[in-house]
Amino acid sequence: HLFYYDGVVWEMKELPSSIGTDCEVKAIYFSTPNDGVACGVKGESGFIISYNGVEWKEESIQKDIPLYGINRFSNGEGWAVGYRGTILHSKGK
């Protein structure tokens, strides 16, 4: 689960069921309140999920490795870093 704080109270948000329950979110980044991205580890693999203001959705990634850090700009371009120096790049929308 992820938790969202609106300035008053924390609210639990569900992760996409596709990543399962054996996962750890390692990093999260929001460029706006309705445009967020997170990455982490599920088993021995990695995942990236994105938030559109309503729900989290899993994105496909080229490498099946644990991910530890992520950033995405307002134009959709993004970077993620992971195990053994892996760097992933997305050119955006």
pLDDT digits (tens, 9 = 90+) for 47-62: 999 999 889 999 988 7
Whether pLDDT at 92 is above 80: no
Biggest CA pair distance of the chain: 39
CA angle 47, 63, 2 (to 5 degrees): 10
Q: What is the dihedral of CA 62, 65, 71, 76, to 10 degrees?
A: 20
Judge whether 63 and 87 are in contact, CB under 8 Å.
no
Smallest CA-to-CA distance from 79 within 24, 18, 29, 16 is with 29
Strand duo 45-51 + 78-82: pairing: unpaired
Q: What is the pTM of this model?
A: 0.87
